[in-house]
Structure 1
Amino acid sequence: MQVLNFIGNLDRRAFLKTAAAASAALTLNPAWAKAPAEKEDGHALVAKTDRQRILTAANLYLAQKPATITDFPTKRSPGGLHDFYSQADYFWPNPKDPNGPYINRDGQSNPENFADHRKAMIRLSVEMPALTAAWVLLGDKQGKRYGEAACAHLRAWFVTPATRMNPNLEFSQGVKGVSTGRSFGVIDTLHLVEVARAASFLMGTLLSPEDSAGVKTWFTEYLSWLKTSKFGTTERDALNNHSMCWALQAAEFARLIKDETTRAEVYHQYITILLPNQLGPNGSFPKELLRTKPYSYSIFNFDVMAGLCQSLKGVQQDATKFALPDGRGLCKSAEFLYPFLKDRNAWPYAHDVEHFDALPVRSPGLLFAGLACHQQPYLDLWKSLNPDPTDREIIRNYPIRQPLLWV
């Protein structure tokens, strides 16, 4: 089975054929009728902006059968059929020792690495939330078939014994001749964050009690692995975007399974460790500015931090509006990055070694910060940017694609 080439590379004729059908539906899900004012405003904004985009994509994905990692066995993996496997992006054969251990070339992705499991997970993260968003947008009367298709993905990945993934990342981002897996590989399941967000709409509604229990069991076991394994705890304690990504995963998986203890722990980690140690006085991320791709990593960490704040809503003080005494918080980070999302050429730091011209794309951080910080220019810019990047490297670092599920 072949993995689809993501939204931007899908058959354009298929999109055109489904556009008319996508624009025909008119009813919003009544479940949002009694939402708080801020949620109503954000939801209405995204629903209006993304309506045709969501329905066009969802109509296309209805015809796609779920594909999990078990569809892509590889002899390179030291694990079994149900173990997720990937190779570290920035490691290449050593020209001085072609058959020896791979060496690092920071910021330069090796296209010969095994990536089929990651592609399958990215496909899941593209298709399943889009189908769920269509159901949320239309409600049961017109949208039930989309929600049911989303449920099929959940069953395949997390419930069905023959196709489910084992709930760990012991063999992620290995390096040939060096390691069979690394803590850095935990970032690969960042693409399950929006899947978990989408699943929270389906569990207890369209997803059967038995399948809901299976999904909850999977994420409970995976969250436990994140919190207790050597790879997981190492990633939690990283000094750059990797710990922010760990926190977003832990927060959203805990939200799905209603683990309020973990959500509170992650909130404490955010305000006492991540925010003070990663955000500079001017709102930049100094550690990301030192990378060979400072522009993309700065945007990436901003988006992940904004997603984390959004995920932690309901835990103590609203994290999207929280700021340290010196003003550092989501609003400060957005203030720093906004001019460079508006004009890439204004970026005053080193240009990325790769993919600089593929950015910016639509930043979920702009949306979340625009709503929280009451900045209409952020929202206007968010609406104007491309929501469906086609560059594979950008897609790899773009975990929130359906903000309708987040506001």
Structure 2
Amino acid sequence: MENNDNAKTNWETARQLIDVEAIMREAEVYLTAPTIQITDAISLHSPGNAHDYYSNGDYWWPNPDTKDGLPYIRRDGQSNPNNFNAHRESLRRMRTRTACLTSAFRLSGERRFGEKAIELLAAFFIDEATRMNPHLRYAQAIPGVCEGRGIGIIDTLHLIDAAAAVQVLQISGEFDQGVLQNVTGWFAAYLNWMNTHPQGIEERSEPNNHGVCWFVQAAAFARLTDDARMLAWCREQFKTRLLPEQMDLSGGFPRELARTKPYAYSLFTLDNFVTLAQLLSVPGDNLWTYELPDGRGIRQGMSFLLPYIENKSEWPYGPDIEYEDDWPVGMSFMLFAGLAYGSERLLHLWRTLDKNPRQAEVRRNMAIRQPLLWLL
């Protein structure tokens, strides 16, 4: 976490760089929106109950060589639009509304926004009739292959914004602390599942963007739940495993560059590395400036990708198989790193690129939608 002086300075600077009026307009709409819950949709293929999250793997399609389409086959980078995505969409809608309402409360001080955010959180995480169970055993299932996979844990990456909202509401001291404590307890239970269940351990060990996203979630949920041991371990893993394992000497991410969407995956991975720096940096242990002996670190990753964000036509690693024309967009790493490094280049990109894209696949890869919540 930042020290108080830096946090105040970054908050004031960021506020000048964010469309506050748009946040307030959107929050006004959400005040009258219905609650969102996992029980609104049930997949016939889910082995769980109405409270168990279920989704299908993105790049898996019916087998054209079998009558029933089973087992599904993989087409890397090509999302199947007919997969069951209702729980994913519900989770992201809840996140988007809760985070926006909480930002509006923080900007305006008006309790009505925070109270509506509390209502949404309670319906999704607490109420016995509608709550989501704190596990992802059935995430990114593949029909005919498996009921769920460890890599499905990436589906809850969007909950980091909800966790940040809960923390802001707690710190304010103006709302029902019992409800907020119960929501925090949900995140503690989910973090425990992530760190102990075989699927969670499998995802934690992934040597690509999935592994980074596990640690982003672990750090965000540990910050909310005051799990100092987990935060310290995430900080150590950033230095000893994630950077050495995933970044090359140029600052690129070779495993992502080898995919069928190298540009989008590179942006996504850098975004999550930066989120870790934002979450885990503390006085005396600053991940923004940390470097391996060979120079690898957040600065090197930024130096590698920044020229291709400014001028995508120079990208030398081939086009993405899908959504090639929809990138780049205004991702939170540009704001966070711009503030951390005092970089006008990055802040200019944040100001000028689209921060609210319409393409669903692009939005799916933007975990943080309300960066003001992260500047505590």
Range class of TM-score, shorter chain: over 0.9
Report if aligned partners of 2:194, 2:200 keep a CA contact under 8 Å in 1.
yes
Deviation at 1:49, TM superposition (A): 2.4
> Is 209-218 or 246-255 further displaced after alignment?
209-218
Instruction: Pick closer, same or farther for the CA change 1:200–1:211 going to 2, 3 Å.
Output: same
Report if aligned partners of 1:334, 1:366 keep a CA contact under 8 Å in 2.
no
Task: Provide the residue aligned with 2:117 in structure 1.
Answer: 150
> Is 330-339 or 310-319 further displaced after alignment?
310-319
Task: Provide the residue aligned with 2:25 in structure 1.
Answer: 56
- Of 140, 148, 166 in structure 2, the residue corresponding to residue 173 of structure 1 is 140
Report if aligned partners of 1:264, 1:315 keep a CA contact under 8 Å in 2.
no
After TM superposition, the structure 1 = structure 2 runs for residues 183-194 of structure 1, keeping only pairs within 5 Å, are 183-194=150-161
The letter for the 2-side match of 1:357 is D
Report if aligned partners of 1:244, 1:301 keep a CA contact under 8 Å in 2.
yes
Task: Provide the residue aligned with 1:317 in structure 2.
Answer: 285
For 1:57 and 1:400, how far apart are their aligned partners in 2?
Answer: 16
Deviation at 1:210, TM superposition (A): 1.7
Deviation at 1:47, TM superposition (A): 1.3
Task: Provide the residue aligned with 1:27 in structure 2.
Answer: none
Deviation at 1:98, TM superposition (A): 4.0
Report if aligned partners of 1:156, 1:164 keep a CA contact under 8 Å in 2.
yes
- Of 234, 244, 252 in structure 2, the residue corresponding to residue 276 of structure 1 is 244
Deviation at 1:373, TM superposition (A): 2.1
1:60-116 superposed Cα distances (whole Å, 9 cap, x missing partner): 211212211111122121110000000001000111114120000000000000100
Aligned Cα root-mean-square deviation (Å): 1.5
Task: Provide the residue aligned with 2:49 in structure 1.
Answer: 80
Deviation at 1:232, TM superposition (A): 0.4
SS in 2 for 1:190: helix
The letter for the 1-side match of 2:337 is A
> Is 246-255 or 368-377 further displaced after alignment?
368-377
Deviation at 1:363, TM superposition (A): 1.8
1:222-270 superposed Cα distances (whole Å, 9 cap, x missing partner): 0000100011010001010000000000000000010000000111111
Report if aligned partners of 2:14, 2:335 keep a CA contact under 8 Å in 1.
no
- Of 6, 10, 14 in structure 2, the residue corresponding to residue 46 of structure 1 is 14
1:33-75 superposed Cα distances (whole Å, 9 cap, x missing partner): x973432332122212221221122112112122111111221
- Of 83, 86, 106 in structure 2, the residue corresponding to residue 113 of structure 1 is 83
For 1:253 and 1:163, how far apart are their aligned partners in 2?
Answer: 22
The letter for the 2-side match of 1:182 is R
- Of 262, 266, 271 in structure 2, the residue corresponding to residue 303 of structure 1 is 271
The letter for the 2-side match of 1:109 is S
Moved over 3 A (4+): 34-37
What are the ranges of 5 or more consecutive residues in structure 2 without an aligned counterpart?
none
Deviation at 1:388, TM superposition (A): 0.5
After TM superposition, the structure 1 = structure 2 runs for residues 7-406 of structure 1, keeping only pairs within 5 Å, are 36-50=4-18, 51-99=20-68, 100-139=70-109, 143-203=110-170, 205-314=173-282, 317-406=285-374
SS in 2 for 1:101: coil
Instruction: Pick closer, same or farther for the CA change 1:290–1:117 going to 2, 3 Å.
Output: same
Matched residues, number: 371
Instruction: Pick closer, same or farther for the CA change 1:115–1:210 going to 2, 3 Å.
Output: same
SS in 2 for 1:148: helix
Report if aligned partners of 1:90, 1:104 keep a CA contact under 8 Å in 2.
yes
The letter for the 1-side match of 2:293 is P
Deviation at 1:316, TM superposition (A): 5.1
For 2:201 and 2:364, how far apart are their aligned partners in 1?
Answer: 23
SS in 2 for 1:172: strand
What are the ranges of 5 or more consecutive residues in structure 1 without an aligned counterpart?
1-33
SS in 2 for 1:203: helix
Q: How high is the TM-score relative to the length of structure 2?
A: 0.96
